[in-house]
Structure 1
Amino acid sequence: MDKKKKKNLKLNMSNFYITLAFLFILGFGFFGTSKLFMAEDIPINQTELNEEYDLRANGKFTVKEWSYDKEENMMEITLVTNGIEDYMTMLDFTAVSRENLSAELPTEVVYDESEIYIVHIHEVPKDFNQIALRFNKGEKSYDELFTEGDLEEKQNQVISTIYTDQRVVKEEPITDRNFTEYAKEITSELIAEAERDIEKLEEKSRMTDDVIVDIRKEIEQLQADLLYQTLDEQVETNNDVFQLKKRIEDYERDKQALSDDAKTIRAKVERLKQKQYDLNI
């Protein structure tokens, strides 16, 4: 009877170890091959919208919009630049997807005016993962301007790259528009943005006024307390009053700067509204 129990015990232990070994091999095989069918954990790579990027000698730019039309396999990017292109340089764009870095995607500049660009990327793969849009800056050559009539573009160089990620890009239909329609849309957006900026400046100016009022009340209270103070206390109080008056001067300068900025933006709004009127004629 004891021999039988020992035999069963050995058999059970053998089965246990066989099962454990099988589970170990199965688990090793699963985790070893999981990358074949599980999505790789790639960090999101998305250029921030409405944030100004400084390229130093090559100017500045802001990505205002980046949308993806899944049905049309197309993207639309709106860029506001400052100082990137001038009479001696040209700006164009190239795009690639993370899934196929060797194949450039067709790009088209559908709007280019006042350093604002709207760029279309065509033939975007369904599973593009991430898209990189490069800014290429080329020099114009005027050497043969009067002999051949065309400007030659040379020394093309990548000055910056922006990115979008399939997991966070805004998906929406992209409608086909002509140059005038783009101009109207952008002009309206610029007017709205400028008016929001004016409101922010005016709010800061009102807050500055409130601070100045509070400081003046504090000065009045300190000056009223002078009658009941010793000579040493009066010297200290007068010094505090002097410092507070200096603070008022600083706030007054800040307020004047806010007023000047608002005046500049209002002039910009007037020019944009005139352009808007001309476009609607």
Structure 2
Amino acid sequence: MLDFSLPRVATKTVGGEIEDNVDSRLGSKKYPKTPERLLLSTPKCASTPGKRKSSWNDDHNRVKRAKTTENNSIVPLYEDYQLLGDSQLMRFSEQLLSFKSLYSDGIRRIGYCVSGQKIDELKKRLLKGEFEIHKNVILLIGTNDFIQKTDYQVMCSSYTQLLQFLKLKCSKIILMTVPPVAKFESDKKHWKLLQQFNQFIGSFIDGDFVNVIDLCSIFISYSNTVSMDYYEKQYIKPARPDLIHLNKKGFMMLRFMLDTHFLEANINNLMKPLKKKLFPDNSF
């Protein structure tokens, strides 16, 4: 099992509305002492596609996504993985995936991605079966628990129960560590609890059925501070400070992390037959 207690460089990625760094580790620069890094994953570089006119198929697909949301289908989806979480993944789905959020009982949501949702609330919605659950899921949840000061042991217990339920329903599970809450940057207790909880998430990795992507480290700078460029500075209506939600730049980094994971997984799958042939006495 990987030791999450020490800063380390990983050679591969391993593995709420919330009140509605990436730096490649190069040269001899030292890691910050606090907050300690869990796992460090360098997102892949992606070229920016050229701007093009919206085609009929693009418009049709956007409408189709909105309709599937209204029909309680499995949404939002990314690379055949259903997203589960709070407003971070809801906003990610709106801004980068063109899904449409809906208001239900006074809250904004897309499927199981619900504004303001805490870990225990997601667990209850899953147990209630409000929507279908896909065979593959990506889970990012916990920010609202930090904001609302949920007891740490309660967070861990709810997360464990949630994951135990998903293991009965799913074939593949990707867990993402919780990003820092930027407005709590100067709160030492927040950093301590955030590190402990993300280490706890990391303890579930098995490399096959459950994988963990360390999203948190992407948004922490060398100077032991939050990389504010990746966060929304304020809400629009009504205008008030935010510093909780990732902005579009932050969501692009989240997508890069996921794409890197999928790319590495595909490469590993392609390499397995060759490894078995070259090293028949080893298990891969």
**TM score, norm. by length of structure 2:** 0.22
Give the number of the structure whose residues are more often helix, by fraction.
Answer: 1
Which structure has the higher relative contact order (CA within 8 Å, separation 6+)? Answer: 2
Give the number of the structure whose residues are more often strand, by fraction.
Answer: 1
**TM score, norm. by length of structure 1:** 0.22
